[in-house]
Amino acid sequence: MNSLVNESVEHIKFGKGVIISEGNFCVDIVFENVVDKKSFLFPDSFEKFMKLKNETLQKECFELAVKKKEAIENEIQEKRRELDRVEQERVELEKKSKLESSKRKRTKVIKKTVQP
């Protein structure tokens, strides 16, 4: 993707502005009627409440935002699967431990009743 610096944007609340800098996860924008620069998450803000004047760049930013959201959702699902797996292992170990404990108790009872 090309640099977004000096690209015109329109924000639903702040109005028209220009991107003055960009980083890995944010863009800084100066708006016409706002004194201070504002920082926004990149590319998330271009999916929701801000639009680039350059439609090609807007489309690219929107697609990046969607891909980022999908990647985060996939990561969340993977972590849920891992938690489920760990919980299942914990339950199985607990069942096994209870079963072994029960066997030990029965063995003690049998030994007591069998002893002279």
Q: Residue 27 is inside which H or E element, if any?
A: strand 26-31
Q: How many CB atoms lie within 10 A of CB 61?
A: 25
So where are the chain's domains?
8-114
**Is residue 33 pLDDT above 80, yes or no?**
yes
Q: Are 11 and 31 in contact (CB under 8 A)?
A: yes
Give the tens place of pLDDT for each residue, 57-114: 999 988 988 898 899 999 999 999 999 999 999 999 998 888 888 777 777 666 666 6
**Is residue 29 pLDDT above 70, yes or no?**
yes
Q: Are 40 and 26 in contact (CB under 8 A)?
A: yes
The CA–CA distances, whole Å, from 28 to 13, 56, 83 equal 15, 20, 38
Amino acid making up residue 1 = M
pTM for the model stands at 0.64
